[in-house]
Every structure is written in structure tokens, then in C-alpha cells.
Amino acid sequence: MFAVFKKEFSSFFSSPVGYLVMGIFLVITGLFLWVFRGPFNIIDYGFADLSLFFLLAPWAFLLLIPAVCMRSFAEERKLGTLELLLSRPVSTGRLVLGKFLGVCALIGVTLLPTLLYVLAVHQLGATAGNLDTGLVWGSYAGLLLLMGLYAAIGLFASSLTENQIAAFMLAVAGCFLFYQGFDSLATLFPDGGTALFIRELGIRAHYEAIGQGIVDSRDLLYFISLGVFFLFLTTRRLNAYRQ
């Protein structure tokens, strides 16, 4: 598994993919948070906190993580190297986990430069240092969990086809459905209890709860179980392909 992880992670930086993902994410968030006038601009917002960054990041990752994942298995199938990969003395589950960890490591590295945003906002308050760091780290934890779930969905989409564009579109649709789709569907129900139940089927409700600094086992269980479910589906798909 470690060999697969190492190969997957290093492949991102032996090609422009890793640098492009990091650059695009930082440019998008930097422009919207500090340059463009609008609802995500921290200066216009008037409060020294990073809540706007944590609102924007899931939408940026909704496109970037599927773009990273689309090549994971689709490219292997197209090049005919997936059979060789599956013939190696490593279980399909470890293969999937290795690729999953490689994607997560890349996105984790992409997040590291955003700690500069924390430092900047830390100094922007009327009183320097007046920043709720517990809330910030809780939001980062929620973002990492969301990132992992997006990656699991993206890998499953990549295992379904050898066409990378199709894999990308499937992953974007899946991530959008789980992040925003249930929220939108909940608005169609006038009953508050039903609407709340449907909303909690989606990612956004759990992501926002963790972002408030509330560590609830139900939110953690949601992300972990759904991520494991998609990794399991990916493993089953590759096992069927092997047969």
C-alpha cells in the first residue's frame, strides 16, 4: 500500500498536475478573499475571521479534487496498465487505499499555504490576535474530512470508466449532489422535521456543524462511513474488472 501511495503522490509532482492544483486553488481563494469585491472579500466583510474561506473552499475543491481523481483508474484502464496493477501482490483494497491517501496528501499539501490566511487575519483584527483559533482548527478539520469524502467519490467515478472527462463529470455531479443537492431538496418540504432530516443526509450540514467547533461523533461517523462506503464500491468495481 505504501508503494502505491508513494507512486501516486510523487506522480502528481513529476507532472504539472500537482502544481496546477495548488496554484489554481490558491489563486482562486486568494482573489476572492483579498482582491475581488463581493460576498467573499474579507476586507469588505468587516470581521477578522476566516469563515468566508471555509465557505469558498468546498466549492473550489468540488472541481479540483475530481480533476485530480479522474486519472487515477480511468487513465490506467485506457493505457491498459490496470491489469498489470491488479496483478501485483497487493490486495485491491490496499491499492484503492494507497491511491486515496495519495490524493488526500496532495490536497493536504495544497492547504498548507492557506495558513498564511490565518496569520493575516490574526493581525487584521481591531485587537491583533483576537481570533478564535479553536473555530479555525475545527473548520480545517471539517475541510479535511470533506476533502477525503470528495476524494472517495472521485476515485469511485474514475473506476467506472476509462474516459477521464466522463470520470470528472461524474465526480463533480456526485460531489455536488452530496454537498448542495440535499440542501436544495430540503427546501421543497414545508415540514421542518422532514426538511432537517433530508438536509442532514448531505455533506454541508455536517461540514458546517464541525466548522462551528462542535465535534459531534455523528458528524465524524457520517464522513467516515460515507467515505468508506465509496472506497468499498471502488474496490468492488475493480474486483469485477479483474474477473
Q: Does residue 54 contact residue 136 with C-beta atoms inside 8 Å? A: no
What are the CB-based long-range contacts (under 8 Å, 24+) for 32-38? 32/56, 33/117
Listing DSSP states for 35-102 in one string gives IS-STT-HHHH-S-SSHHHHHHHHHHHHHHHHHHHHHHHHHHHHHT-HHHHHTSSS-HHHHHHHHHHH
Average pLDDT over the chain reads 86
Tens digit of pLDDT for each residue in 99-143? Answer: 999 999 999 999 999 988 888 887 776 565 567 777 888 889 999
Cell numbers standing for residue 56: 469558498
Q: How many domains does the chain have?
A: 1
Find all residues with CB under 8 Å of 163, minimum gap 6, and list them. 74, 78
Tens digit of pLDDT for each residue in 61-101? Answer: 999 999 999 888 888 777 777 777 777 777 888 889 999 99
Tens digit of pLDDT for each residue in 5-42? Answer: 887 778 877 778 778 888 999 999 989 888 888 788 87
Domain carrying residue 109: 2-242
Q: Taking the CB of residue 105, how many other CB atoms lie within 10 A of it?
A: 15
Percent residues over pLDDT 90 in the chain:
45
The model scores a pTM over 0.95: no
Distances (CA, A) of 186 to 28, 156, 179, 192, 210: 29, 26, 12, 9, 20
- Average pLDDT value for residue range 190-204: 90
Q: How far apart are CA 160 and CA 156, in angstroms?
A: 7
